[in-house]
Amino acid sequence: MPDYILPTTLAKVPNCMPLLRKISLMGNYRLSDNGLDKLISAAPSLSSLNLSECSLLTSTGIENLANRLQSVLRELYINDCLNVDAMMILPALEKIKQLEVLSMSGIQSVCDKFVNELIPVHGSNIRELAFAGCLKLTSSSIKTIGVNCPQLSSLDIRNLSRLRDSATRHLRYGCRLIKKLKLQKNTFSDEALSQFLEESGGCLTELSLNNIEKVLCPCSFSSAWMCVSH
């Protein structure tokens, strides 16, 4: 859906969709910052917005949507928006008053500084986070999440090669309500994962451990705590 189609379809006039709360434009590689702005003008009550893989969007587009929807937006998915710079949109994201879900997987500009500054602002409200493939992240970011996100129920930290066993300790101490945890392609040991499951695995309904080289055998974990997705 290119921008020029929006005025004749979804975004006919400002506020033409006043009750629309949720929209997914995932994979819309022809949507620009300008088109997104028109859409938000037409639907000012959006609480959930999925813009994953919208490759034309830039930091400016994300800044505009955060500024416009700061009082209503609860869920933002911008996975693999490769022209978005995490540190540039940080001030705008900090303004979103009720942010509960943030998914930024694949955005390589996501770093410890970004997480360490953003998460304390929203931590008490955050329910879901996804930073899969954000290769700059270290256990410092996981510590920040553990300290600030007591209500976290879903965490996707797949393919983060810089994480160490200490990351599971930070989650164990702070995030005891996690239901979905994705850890594929990390470097955690049997011992660290086993201790996490024993102490904080009571709420888990989904645990992904694919391609963790140091995990030798699922049998080393207590089956009472475990549901491994393949």
Question: In CATH, what number is assigned to the domain containing residue 168?
Answer: 3.80.10.10
Beta strands in the chain (DSSP E): 22-24, 48-50, 75-77, 101-103, 128-130, 154-156, 180-182, 206-208
- Quote the CA–CA distance of 51 and 36 in Å, as a whole number: 9
Which of helix, strand or coil describes residue 193? helix
pLDDT at 37: 96
Task: For residue 113, tell me if it sits in a domain.
Answer: yes
The pTM of this model reads 0.91
Task: For residue 50, tell me if it sits in a domain.
Answer: no
Residue 219 sits in which domain range?
A: 100-225
pLDDT at 54: 97
- Quote the CA–CA distance of 177 and 164 in Å, as a whole number: 21
- The backbone torsions φ and ψ at residue 154, rounded to the nearest 5 degrees and listed phi first, read -145, 130
61-95 pLDDT tens trace: 999 999 999 999 999 999 999 999 999 999 999 99
Task: For residue 44, tell me if it sits in a domain.
Answer: no
pLDDT at 39: 95
pLDDT at 211: 85
Task: For residue 129, tell me if it sits in a domain.
Answer: yes
Task: For residue 186, tell me if it sits in a domain.
Answer: yes
What's the mean pLDDT when you consider all of the chain?
A: 91
Task: For residue 189, tell me if it sits in a domain.
Answer: yes
Q: How many domains does the chain have?
A: 1
- Could you tell me the two tokens for 36? 């997104």
181: Cβ–Cβ under 8 A, 6 or more apart, which residues? 154, 155, 204, 206, 207, 208
Residues of the chain below pLDDT 70: 213-230
